[in-house]
């Protein structure tokens, strides 16, 4: 590395303390990853409650009416703007708040953002539980979104900055595992709630408060990250935080000095983070932090996540069958994140992206075929039992592929490729792009299903093809590298090298 002082071994530099996993770092990361739990709970809860008759009758009475028709068009039963507004309102407020979080984190620190987000989320939960009309329900969901925008902006960066570099991928995957766990929990709670009668949905919404309390209270007891503390001039606290996560026996002074130098080099740029990230030398970072989270949504995962119970009902399963189907699906999604945690630092990010891309495309093509064969374009016939089960199996395979690739990697890759000076802004852009696409797609999905019919699966298969080629061509491997030496991946890249400057000019003082 020209002018740099890192010890290198082979093509990738490696460091002595890279592998140390202490009890503290595990606990600290668990608290941060709980932010995933509250997000996942929201993802999982909406699909189930929107399939519950008492909830639909109270807030969306047109849907039970359509279901009662003699020969309803299965593609269009759930095509209701109010219903989609309920699901997607969370993402519109999350979009705004993640951008705000990217700015205020420089003052509040990563931990402060987690706490503020958790408190707003709890207020939103309360409002949903006591909702007596659609306005209250949607306002509550907007507040949930506001909270989640904050916590999603902070948690992945928090974990990335705390984790030992060698296991950074596995640690940051915890965010997605908790997310998947939250969604799974939500579907199980929905199943119980569906048996509780009139107000079961209130119970479902209220349970979101439990993980939120755990995360928010836990956040008071964890330190902020060394990088964030250095950024705010709190050197002594940064040293304590580093000692706490790396363990008393390890020599943290070198890592601390390295972070301080890195911060000094990045200082000027940190003042105007959103302006800075648009400079030419940050083009690869900007493109990746916007493209990866947008592509994640274009895998079509949220059709599966939000509308699985609704889709299962469309293919003729009972309410109970469709809620159980959603539990199975979420269980697979959750379990597959552990495959990712195991593989991501061993085999790298690219391999997971590429393999899962192929798997998802194939399943979507088969789904399109089954829907066209069973429902045709009129959508008035119904599915045979065998086909309904096949739909569930294919959705499970998609969910598994997503759970070990685009799911966790969307949180890992942007937070690790972003240099410190643009990290909060970049992460804000990452969440905002993700939420924007989630919002648009969840807003239009039920009506595209109604209009494009089985073509909706071809639509997503096309996108997964594009994004898989994109990763193959443009995303360099980041496994095992220190955050401070990421610039190297762009310098060595056949396309991106022309945008980045020699890092030695910026970060010449970094020593190990
Ligand atoms: C995505 C969500 C999705 C969830 C499913 C997350 O990574 O951002 O939109 O619903 O995974 O597990």
- CATH number for the domain that contains residue 463: 1.20.1250.20
Residue 335 lies in a domain: yes
Instruction: Tell me the three state secondary structure of residue 184.
Output: helix
- Do 304 and 376 lie in one domain? The reply is yes
What is residue 380's predicted lDDT score, i.e. its pLDDT? Answer: 61
Low-confidence ranges of the chain (pLDDT < 50): 1-17, 504-512
Q: At which of 205, 239, 269 does a domain end?
A: 269
Locate the DSSP E strands across 203-345.
none
- Do 246 and 277 lie in one domain? The reply is no
- Do 455 and 312 lie in one domain? The reply is yes
Taking the centre of ligand 1 as the mean of its atom positions, its distance from the CA of residue 40, in whole angstroms, is: 7
- Do 232 and 252 lie in one domain? The reply is yes
Residue whose Cα lies nearest atom 7 of ligand 1: it is 407
Domain span including residue 242: 225-269
pTM of this structure: 0.84
Taking the centre of ligand 1 as the mean of its atom positions, its distance from the CA of residue 381, in whole angstroms, is: 32
- Do 102 and 240 lie in one domain? The reply is no
Q: Which residues contact 239 (CB under 8 A, 6 or more apart)?
A: 226, 252, 256
Mutate to test the pocket of ligand 1, among 92, 177, 179, 307 (most ligand atoms within 8 A of CB): 179
Residue whose Cα lies nearest atom 1 of ligand 1: it is 407
Residue whose Cα lies nearest atom 12 of ligand 1: it is 180
Taking the centre of ligand 1 as the mean of its atom positions, its distance from the CA of residue 436, in whole angstroms, is: 13
| Separation CA 459–CA 462 (nearest Å) | 5
Taking the centre of ligand 1 as the mean of its atom positions, its distance from the CA of residue 152, in whole angstroms, is: 11
Site residues for ligand 1, CB cut-off 6 Å: 43, 176, 179-180, 183, 296, 301-302, 305, 333, 407, 410, 434, 438
Q: Which residues contact 90 (CB under 8 A, 6 or more apart)?
A: 42, 46, 141, 142, 144, 145, 148
Taking the centre of ligand 1 as the mean of its atom positions, its distance from the CA of residue 17, in whole angstroms, is: 33
Number of domains observed in the structure of the chain: 2
pLDDT tens digit string along 191-219? 899 899 899 999 999 999 999 999 999 99
- Do 282 and 204 lie in one domain? The reply is yes
- Do 495 and 451 lie in one domain? The reply is yes
Residue whose Cα lies nearest atom 2 of ligand 1: it is 302
Instruction: Tell me the three state secondary structure of residue 142.
Output: helix
| Separation CA 471–CA 153 (nearest Å) | 23
Looking at the CA of residue 306, tell me the nearest atom of ligand 1: 10
* Alpha-helical runs (H) found in 60-163: 62-67, 81-129, 134-162
- Do 440 and 331 lie in one domain? The reply is yes
Three state DSSP letters for 149-181: HHHHHHHHHHHHHHCCHHHHHHHHHHHHHHHHH
pLDDT tens digit string along 88-119? 889 999 999 999 998 888 889 999 999 999 99
- Do 176 and 242 lie in one domain? The reply is no
- Do 105 and 124 lie in one domain? The reply is yes
The total of other beta-carbon atoms located within 10 Å of residue 469's CB is 12
Residue 5 lies in a domain: no
Looking at the CA of residue 183, tell me the nearest atom of ligand 1: 12
What is residue 107's predicted lDDT score, i.e. its pLDDT? Answer: 87
- Do 245 and 380 lie in one domain? The reply is no
The helix/strand count (H/E) of the chain reads as 22, 2
Concatenating the DSSP letter of every residue in 268-326 gives HHHTSHHHHTTSGGGHHHHHHHHHHHHHHHHTTHHHHHHHHHHHHHHTT--HHHHHHHH
- Do 119 and 240 lie in one domain? The reply is no
């Amino acid at each position: 590395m020209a002018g740099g002082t890192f010890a290198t071994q082979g093509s990738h530099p490696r460091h002595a303390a890279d592998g140390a996993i202490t009890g503290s770092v595990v606990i600290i990361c668990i608290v941060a990853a709980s932010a995933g739990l509250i997000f996942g709970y929201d993802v999982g809860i909406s699909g189930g409650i929107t399939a519950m008759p008492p909830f639909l009758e109270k807030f969306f009475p047109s849907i039970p009416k359509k279901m009662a028709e003699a020969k309803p068009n299965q593609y269009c039963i759930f095509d209701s703007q109010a219903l989609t507004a309920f699901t997607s309102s969370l993402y519109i407020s999350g979009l705004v708040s993640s951008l705000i979080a990217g700015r205020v984190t420089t003052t509040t620190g990563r931990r402060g953002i987690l706490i503020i987000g958790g408190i707003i989320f709890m207020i939103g939960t309360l409002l949903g539980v006591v909702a007596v009309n659609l306005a209250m329900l949607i306002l509550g969901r907007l507040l949930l979104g506001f909270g989640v925008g904050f916590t999603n902006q902070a948690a992945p960066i928090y974990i990335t900055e705390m984790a030992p570099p060698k296991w950074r991928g596995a640690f940051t995957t915890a965010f997605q595992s908790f997310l998947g766990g939250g969604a799974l929990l939500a579907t199980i709670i929905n199943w119980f709630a569906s048996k509780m009668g009139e107000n079961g949905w209130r119970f479902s919404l209220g349970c979101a408060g439990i993980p939120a309390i755990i995360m928010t209270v836990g956040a008071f007891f964890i330190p902020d990250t060394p990088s964030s503390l250095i950024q705010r001039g709190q050197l002594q606290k940064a040293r304590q935080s580093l000692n706490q996560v790396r363990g008393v026996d390890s020599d943290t002074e070198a890592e601390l000095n390295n972070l301080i130098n890195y911060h000094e080099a990045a200082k000027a740029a940190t003042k105007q983070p959103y302006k800075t990230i648009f400079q030419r030398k940050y083009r690869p970072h900007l493109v990746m932090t916007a493209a990866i989270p947008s592509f994640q949504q274009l895998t079509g995962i949220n059709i599966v996540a939000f509308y699985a119970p609704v889709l299962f009902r469309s293919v003729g399963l009972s309410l109970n069958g469709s809620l159980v189907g959603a539990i199975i699906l979420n269980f697979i999604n959750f379990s597959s994140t552990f495959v990712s945690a195991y593989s991501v630092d061993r085999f790298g990010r690219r391999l997971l992206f590429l393999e899962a891309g192929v798997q998802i495309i194939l399943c979507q093509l088969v789904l399109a075929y089954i829907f066209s064969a069973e429902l045709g374009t009129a959508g008035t016939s119904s599915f045979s039992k065998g086909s309904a089960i096949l739909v569930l199996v294919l959705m499970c395979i998609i969910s598994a592929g997503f759970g070990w690739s685009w799911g966790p990697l969307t949180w890992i890759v942007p937070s690790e490729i972003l240099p410190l000076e643009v990290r909060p802004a970049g992460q804000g852009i990452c969440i905002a792009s993700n939420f924007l696409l989630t919002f648009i797609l969840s807003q239009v999905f039920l009506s595209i299903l109604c209009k494009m019919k089985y073509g909706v699966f071809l639509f997503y298969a096309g996108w997964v093809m594009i994004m898989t080629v994109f990763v193959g061509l443009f995303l360099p491997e980041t496994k095992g590298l220190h955050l401070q030496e990421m610039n190297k991946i762009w310098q060595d890249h056949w396309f991106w090298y022309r945008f980045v400057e020699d890092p030695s000019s910026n970060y010449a003082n970094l020593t190990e």
